[in-house]
Structure 1
Amino acid sequence: MALTLTFVKETNQVLFEGNSFVKEVILNRPHKLNSLNHEMVSQMKERLTLYENDPSVKLIILKANGKTFCAGGDVISVVTSSIAGHWSYAASFYKKQLTLDHLIATYKKPVVSLINGVVMGGGAGLSMNTNFRIVTERTVFAMPEVSIGLFPDVGASYFLSRLPGYLGEYLGLTGRRLNGAEMVKCGLATNFVPSKKLNLLEKALESVTTSDISTITALIDYFTEIAHLKEDSPWKRMDTINKCFSKGTVEEIVLSLEKEMEVDGAEKWIADALNSMRASSPTSLKIWLRSVREGRVQSIEQCLHREYNISCHVARRTVSNDLYEGSRAKLFDKDNKAMWDPPKLELVSEDMVNQYFREVEDENWECLQLPHRSNLPSKL
């Protein structure tokens, strides 16, 4: 894997604008799909802490420049740094990112996310636990981490596990994309506002002088429209999704989907789900299924603690090299021919999966320490 380094410092990767009452936090790395790096996460955490403690600030708007809201964490820089240096770099970045996600999820003032474009991975961690999650016809949501040897993290085992039925299992195991209408329908988003009205909504929000939720809700509702589902929406297949993705193991889920294919081979979404799962890391699939199941009955803090442990094991290669191999295949060489190890679901033992859920035994490792926060996260 060839590594390329640049010594040019990126500036203004996050913009902080607004007035004395309303502050705007703007992701400003459009050439990199607004993917999050250590500097961006550090700046946002510092500034949001200041805003929360400033009594004059009443509302936060979270948005992005460019056509993408946020395509996730900057996996390329994390993997490159870990290979060139030490796996604990990835742990350091991830600890900072999860601390920011926790701050936003428990923020004491209303936060409005304007999600006009692609939102994946780390972008979902920033936005999915805010009070108001505004989407448009341009919005695309996905958690495709299993395709590169990772797993849906950044609190996904909390917010995806609280979706109706077994939709969370489905989204995490297949990386299936949802549009804005589907996000509203399942509860990932709170409002659908056409992109042509977004600037008007933003200007209206900038005039807010209160943190009163009902006042902000009424203002957003004025611009909200009903979004209609497409015929091939997974929301219209929930009976089958629940039937298949409620199974106890990934192997049983695959078998159930294969049986559905025999009954109705014309169902393209089933073939897509199977193809996606077969191309993904078998280890990552098993990690996600267990993670989302545990997340259903856990707090946001418990979910973030668990996800941090798992991610550190992934970066450290405690059990498998899949993150680095998946990144090579998808992000570096782009041959889409990852050689997963183990290569098959049946070769990923329960003991191997269990290791990811234990604390890391390494002198360079410390568990995630989250500050006590009195505010509970917004319910999906």
Structure 2
Amino acid sequence: MATSFDNEQNEVLFEHKTGVRKAILNRPTQLNSLTYRMFCQMLKQFRDFEEDLNVILVILKGNGRAFCAGGDVKSVLNFITNGHWSFGASFYRKQLNLDYKIGTYKKPVVSIINGIVMGGGAGLSMNSTFRIVTENTVFAMPEAAIGLFPDCGASHFLSRLPGFFGEFLGLTGTRLDGIEMVMCGLATHFVFSKDLASVEEALDSLAASGVLEVSTISETINKYVQEVHLKKDSVCNRMEVINKCFSKETVEEILSSLEKLGAQSEEKWITNAIKSMKSVSPTSLKIFLRLVREGRMQNLKECLAHEFRVSCHILRRTVNNDFYEGGRAKLIEKGRSKPVDALKTRAS
């Protein structure tokens, strides 16, 4: 096995085995948040792997307790503060290019999501061929809390979920565990973390044997899948109610529907959903609702292009100042002021 490092920080590690290439996110103390350098490095390597006839399969995973908690938004905020919004545009363009490359890859990509996966981490993994989750996996799209919106292809992969579950996840930032991700379609396989090394070894052996069929990879992973069940209070067991509320036309109607439901029920998920939607940027919620609704009729490329255009307006502050204020409060000042106090702008 050979390991290559293309930069001195070793933010992404690449392992080479016969037939397999592994990309390992390596910023564990920052929960593997993605930097511009990492996007560039992975784009180059993934392009090379795609053209290399000796590469049969690519595995993507993260070191530490997170797969990837998202993009390095703090660096984007710092540049915006200094008047360089164009860096943010370059950052997101490179990120979305990588998401598109993985989503349209000519070879199987297996994402091993053993830990936190949020925002940009979801964009990196949700369009891969196989998405393995574990008992340690936690998924969320909480961007509205900092004045952004669920992006990185969320208008594509969330719009493909059953009913209006994608609207629910994007508007409330609700967290899912690994079992829930499989049940709603965000993940393809649930494997206990203790078996991940065995899964990788099996995939290594399979790739070393020659040409692989997607079905063969799935069958190999399935050997390590064990039967699991949703918790009784899982939101996945509330699909009928979620569809009723989140199928409404506007954010205001969705929130009103939830409040009426909350007056009749003490279910915690309803209270949490209302609290979350009231504490974040309403403009961000409206942007996401429109994007996810339009995303149902768009392919991945169209969704990413649409998200990029909206992101540029947010970065230039032509929409409002919510990203700067919310991001500063949430990520930079960290508790010195409440994000909800920073997000003074309210959509008309």
TM-score (norm 1): 0.87
Does 1:316 find its partner at 2:316? yes
Q: Match of 2:326?
A: 326
**Pairwise mapping of residues 316-355 of structure 1 onto structure 2 (< 5 A)?**
316-335=316-335, 336-337=338-339, 338-343=341-346, 348-349=347-348
Greater displacement, 327-336 / 176-185: 327-336
Q: Distance in 2 between matches of 1:154 and 1:250?
A: 21
Q: Match of 1:291?
A: 291
Paired residue type of 2:148: L
Q: Deviations over 1:45-79 (max 9, x none)?
A: 00000000001100000011101000000000111
Please list every run of at least 4 consecutive aligned residues from structure 1 whose deviation after the TM superposition is greater than 4 angstroms.
none
| Paired residues of 1:184 and 1:190 also in contact (CA < 8 A) | yes
Does 1:84 find its partner at 2:85? no
Q: Percent identity?
A: 59
| Paired residues of 1:24 and 1:60 also in contact (CA < 8 A) | yes
Q: Distance in 1 between matches of 2:325 and 2:301?
A: 30
Q: Match of 1:215?
A: 216
Q: Distance in 1 between matches of 2:133 and 2:16?
A: 21
* Superposed CA RMSD: 1.1
Q: Match of 2:4?
A: none
Structure 1 residue runs without a partner (length 5+): 1-8, 350-380
Structure 2 residue runs without a partner (length 5+): 1-6
Q: Distance in 1 between matches of 2:8 and 2:248?
A: 46
Q: Deviations over 1:114-167 (max 9, x none)?
A: 000000011011100011100000000000000100000000000000000100
Greater displacement, 79-88 / 120-129: 79-88
Question: 1:342 deviation in Å?
Answer: 2.2
Question: 1:39 deviation in Å?
Answer: 0.3
Q: Match of 2:3?
A: none
Q: Match of 2:257?
A: 256
**Pairwise mapping of residues 68-217 of structure 1 onto structure 2 (< 5 A)?**
68-209=66-207, 210-217=211-218
Q: Match of 1:225?
A: 226
Question: 1:341 deviation in Å?
Answer: 4.0
Q: Distance in 1 between matches of 2:181 and 2:33?
A: 21
Q: Distance in 1 between matches of 2:201 and 2:18?
A: 15
Q: Match of 1:25?
A: 23
| Paired residues of 1:59 and 1:208 also in contact (CA < 8 A) | no
SS of 2:199's equivalent?
Answer: helix
Q: Distance in 2 between matches of 1:278 and 1:342?
A: 13
Q: Distance in 2 between matches of 1:115 and 1:95?
A: 24
Q: Distance in 2 between matches of 1:198 and 1:274?
A: 37
Q: Decide which of 40, 62, 65 is 1:64's aligned counterpart.
A: 62
Paired residue type of 1:74: D
Q: Deviations over 1:239-275 (max 9, x none)?
A: 11001000000000010001101221x1111010000
SS of 2:183's equivalent?
Answer: helix
Question: 1:86 deviation in Å?
Answer: 0.9
SS of 1:176's equivalent?
Answer: coil
Q: Distance in 2 between matches of 1:76 and 1:339?
A: 16
SS of 2:21's equivalent?
Answer: strand
Q: Distance in 2 between matches of 1:175 and 1:10?
A: 35
Q: Distance in 2 between matches of 1:73 and 1:295?
A: 22
Q: Match of 1:235?
A: 236
Q: Decide which of 35, 45, 48 is 2:46's aligned counterpart.
A: 48
Q: Distance in 2 between matches of 1:34 and 1:342?
A: 31
Q: Distance in 1 between matches of 2:315 and 2:179?
A: 35
How many residues end up aligned between the 2 structures?
336
Question: 1:10 deviation in Å?
Answer: 6.0
